Structure 1
Amino acid sequence: MAAVVLVGAQWGDEGKGKITDYLAEKAEVVVRYQGGSNAGHTVMVGEQEFKLHLVPSGILYPGKLCLIGNGVVVDPAVLVQELDGLAERGIDTSSLRISDRAHLILPYHKGLDAAEEERRGQAQIGTTKRGIGPAYVDKTARTGIRVGDLLDWEEFRGKLARNLAAVNEMLAKIYDRPGYVLEAILDEYAGYARRLRPLIADTVHLVNEALKNGRRVLFEGAQGTLLDLDQGTYPFVTSSYPTAGGACIGAGIGPTKINKVLGVVKAYTTRVGGGPFPAEITGSIGDTLREQGREYGTTTGRPRRCGWLDTVILRHAAEVNGLTGLALTKLDVLTGIDPLRICTGYRYGGEIIRDFPASLKVLQQCEPVYEEVPGWQEDITAARSLADLPAACRSYIRRLEELAGVPVHLIAVGPRRDQTIVVEDVF
């Protein structure tokens, strides 16, 4: 049995799509376990670029069983569009299965998302307005509608009618917005039901059977540790659990079945949206990182805020995920920047702290403590082993490992599949 959980070790956007795609070659089953279409994974296959939002990255390899787990909130409109786009490019999606326990995103979830974000004014969280939060709210409030309800149309209709009565009243009285028409949603979702019915399955059983039979399973998270609902920079977080524990809940497996947890970390730090960011860089170096690293959101196109590598965050990610290894991405983007800085701690109230604080008020007042290290000028995109990397580059990796307390297993020196250095096999 080989079960590997892949998590983001920063604020998301760490390059998980490339690493998932790379590992999926050896995996036999790939499971997406949380989040929704607010996530975006960019994968390069040769010169072709694929942007995936709901479909697991393993779909780009023929014959891999790809599961959308029960912890995901599924927007069927986005999913159908994604499946059609993949089919147009010759990708076979017949191996995809969607959990009957996963919750559906409905049009009113998007409406509520946009209305509430607008109402927050200057205190906006930076939601993608794709209905993710409201769908998880309904799930927790036990009023959600699940993918399996598409298989029983009368059940679906009854639940939708009950929900709309409450939602339309809320939209009118709180947000001064028009409501939704039951028949219009039913007409739209009837088409999705016909299209997705063959793909709906008991994915909990499928993944546990795969593990029992010794198959290699990769659990793919969206977003990152610092966006986790409990462990992230609350309230500037997502509405689910991107950490490794979320794989157990979102895929329906016991924690004893996980063998390894691989944290994906960018060679620098980025985040999208509001909230404190101690190691953020303003000025020309931040602009250079953004442009060289193509730091724009896969889903929204929003420019990402860029900063130096923050090992306070990494140590937090290592603790809460139980990381057994790291996949270091976008190392090539740092080429030409000299010296480099690494954030080793925060200065708060005259003291140095090295543990990530829960309080945003404290975090906003933290100043980064930096260690300067030499940069390198050599192009590293053709490197295929540690020995191929410049000495300064190898030193940067060693220092990251020392400060994070976790070894680096994979190194990405470019976006393509072959631009990957394997230090230690994951599967």
Structure 2
Amino acid sequence: MFRTLAVIGLQFGDEGKGKIVDYLSSRYEIVARYQGGANAGHTVITGGKVYKFHLIPSGILHGTICVLGNGMVIDPIQLLEEIKMVKDYSPLKKIRISERAHVVMPYHKEQDMVEEKRKNNKIGTTGKGIGPAYEDKYGRIGIRMVDLLDKEKLEEKVKLALNMKRGFLEKEFNLREIVQSYHEAALQFKKNIIDTSSFLRKSIEEGRSVLFEGAQGTHLDVDFGMYPFVTSSNTTIGGAITGLGIPPHYISNVMGVVKAYTTKVGEGPFPTEIKGKIADEILKKGNEYGTTTGRPRRIGWLDLNLVKYSVEVSGVKYIAISKIDILSGIGEIKVAYAYKYNGKIIKKIPPDPSEISKLTPVYRVFEGWEFTGEDRRNEIPKNMKNYIRFIEEKTGAKVVIISLGASREDTKLLGRF
């Protein structure tokens, strides 16, 4: 086991990172999340209880120290709700919040919906205000966690932001009410707002083990995803460095999480998308509804062209495959390993999304299998092994974990890492 390890999604998000991080967290002293906000959702099932996280790393269920890094955009009201959800785990003793992390304000959520409504090409936003919060960050009118603790300064900053947005927002906001509610919320976790960058660097230098957790997936990365159908932050390994304030060499290795098939929420190109009976069966068996939005996810076959690209961008050495049990009993299973494009065979996604719709996937067909969480102590079937070996062959990364069910216990370790 590596002293520090980053866990990254290799598809469009919803790969099952929350479960994998939960599985690994007991082996680490600190779990640190580096980007995104409440637009990402992790569901963890343990001891018969369901926990839905949007901000706090699921490592909190193991009593692990959980860091919310400077690269995140945090809704303090949502954060308080999650703190209450895990109150039995003494969260305020374990959570560390970056003083530099930006805050999602109520007007960001309004701006999110107004912008989406006025666009010709919809992105499929979650409406959680994430994009506008990052816009304000880079426009230098953002509110940071440290600002919430000084009521007078907070009022000045919120007033400026509202004045800048006047005429665009369709809803009126009460300045005093915003300042009062957000200041009071922050006071409830005032002692948890610290310099997390220094805390992490010192912890690593002292030999403590740290798990770095990303939100969403590589193909939603603002630079390396299918722009403009992307999120507003860097979901790849670079985001861990800037979103936590640590040097690159502090990350010992990178594990990527891949769903055994592909899902996507929102608009945008999806080369291996399928519809009909098989898609409906996977949707139902896999409970493929967004943790944040509740919307049904789009379903497709596994696309190793996308996964290979993600492996290369973030230097992924190890892979965890989630929901491989969902494919049990499906029958023949397809995996895309190339595309036909303008009469040629290619293995790279074009940067122009309008060209992606012209791709025709080239598939390898595998015989199906029967294997679920109840079989986790048994040898995995030959057909599943062939499927896993093909993933390793085409990506160059080693599969070390497979997930065979929704609960923490339904996880099988295939190799050391």
TM over 0.5: yes
Residue 211 of structure 2 is aligned to residue 212 of structure 1: no
Whether contact under 8 Å (1:150, 1:197) holds in the other structure is no
Q: How does 1:226-375 map to 2 (within 5 A)?
A: 226-375=219-368
Deviations 1:303-351 (A, max 9, x none): 0011111000011001101001100110100001221111011111111
Whether contact under 8 Å (2:272, 2:303) holds in the other structure is yes
2:409 corresponds in structure 1 to 418
Unaligned runs of 5+ in 1: 172-176
2:175 corresponds in structure 1 to 182
Whether contact under 8 Å (1:168, 1:180) holds in the other structure is no
Which amino acid in the other structure matches residue 382 of structure 1?
A: E
Which amino acid in the other structure matches residue 109 of structure 2?
A: K
Residue 382 of structure 2 is aligned to residue 382 of structure 1: no
For 1:170, what is the secondary structure of its paired residue? Answer: coil
* Equivalent of residue 130 in structure 1, options 128, 131, 134: 128
Which amino acid in the other structure matches residue 412 of structure 1?
A: S
1:403 corresponds in structure 2 to 394
Structure 2 CA distance for aligned equivalents of residues 199 and 167 of structure 1: 31
Whether contact under 8 Å (2:373, 2:411) holds in the other structure is no
For 2:258, what is the secondary structure of its paired residue? Answer: strand
Q: How does 1:97-246 map to 2 (within 5 A)?
A: 97-121=96-120, 123-171=121-169, 177-246=170-239
Q: CA deviation at 1:232?
A: 0.4
1:25 corresponds in structure 2 to 26
Which amino acid in the other structure matches residue 95 of structure 2?
A: L
Which amino acid in the other structure matches residue 105 of structure 1?
A: V
Residue 79 of structure 2 is aligned to residue 79 of structure 1: yes
Structure 1 CA distance for aligned equivalents of residues 171 and 412 of structure 2: 54
Judged with a 3 Å threshold, the aligned counterparts in structure 2 of structure 1 residues 398 and 191 are, in CA distance, closer, same or farther, namely same
Deviations 1:242-265 (A, max 9, x none): 111110011111111111100000
1:174 corresponds in structure 2 to none
Which amino acid in the other structure matches residue 401 of structure 2?
A: L
For 1:35, what is the secondary structure of its paired residue? Answer: coil
Which amino acid in the other structure matches residue 40 of structure 1?
A: G
Between stretches 51-60 and 353-362, larger displacement belongs to 353-362
Structure 1 CA distance for aligned equivalents of residues 104 and 331 of structure 2: 47
Structure 2 CA distance for aligned equivalents of residues 309 and 119 of structure 1: 33
Q: CA deviation at 1:231?
A: 0.5
2:68 corresponds in structure 1 to 68
Whether contact under 8 Å (2:41, 2:54) holds in the other structure is yes
Which amino acid in the other structure matches residue 244 of structure 1?
A: I
Q: Number of matched residues?
A: 415
Whether contact under 8 Å (1:409, 1:422) holds in the other structure is yes
Deviations 1:357-390 (A, max 9, x none): 21101101111111111111x23322336x6111
Q: CA deviation at 1:162?
A: 1.3
Q: CA deviation at 1:167?
A: 1.6
Judged with a 3 Å threshold, the aligned counterparts in structure 2 of structure 1 residues 152 and 187 are, in CA distance, closer, same or farther, namely closer
Whether contact under 8 Å (2:70, 2:98) holds in the other structure is yes
Which amino acid in the other structure matches residue 120 of structure 1?
A: K
Structure 1 CA distance for aligned equivalents of residues 356 and 230 of structure 2: 15
Structure 1 CA distance for aligned equivalents of residues 277 and 163 of structure 2: 52
Structure 1 CA distance for aligned equivalents of residues 352 and 57 of structure 2: 34
Structure 2 CA distance for aligned equivalents of residues 380 and 68 of structure 1: 34
Between stretches 8-17 and 395-404, larger displacement belongs to 395-404
Whether contact under 8 Å (1:33, 1:247) holds in the other structure is yes
Whether contact under 8 Å (2:221, 2:230) holds in the other structure is yes
Whether contact under 8 Å (1:65, 1:95) holds in the other structure is yes
Structure 1 CA distance for aligned equivalents of residues 331 and 315 of structure 2: 33
Which amino acid in the other structure matches residue 113 of structure 1?
A: D
Structure 1 CA distance for aligned equivalents of residues 376 and 172 of structure 2: 56
Q: CA deviation at 1:404?
A: 1.4
For 2:188, what is the secondary structure of its paired residue? Answer: helix
1:47 corresponds in structure 2 to 48
TM-score by length of 2: 0.97
Whether contact under 8 Å (2:110, 2:171) holds in the other structure is no
Deviations 1:10-67 (A, max 9, x none): 00000001000001010100001000000000011121111000011110012x1110
Q: CA deviation at 1:179?
A: 2.8
Which amino acid in the other structure matches residue 414 of structure 2?
A: V
Whether contact under 8 Å (1:6, 1:263) holds in the other structure is yes
TM-score by length of 1: 0.95
Whether contact under 8 Å (1:125, 1:236) holds in the other structure is yes
Structure 2 CA distance for aligned equivalents of residues 354 and 348 of structure 1: 10
Structure 2 CA distance for aligned equivalents of residues 85 and 339 of structure 1: 41
Which amino acid in the other structure matches residue 298 of structure 1?
A: T
Structure 1 CA distance for aligned equivalents of residues 416 and 58 of structure 2: 19
Structure 2 CA distance for aligned equivalents of residues 192 and 169 of structure 1: 28
Q: CA deviation at 1:409?
A: 1.2
Unaligned runs of 5+ in 2: none
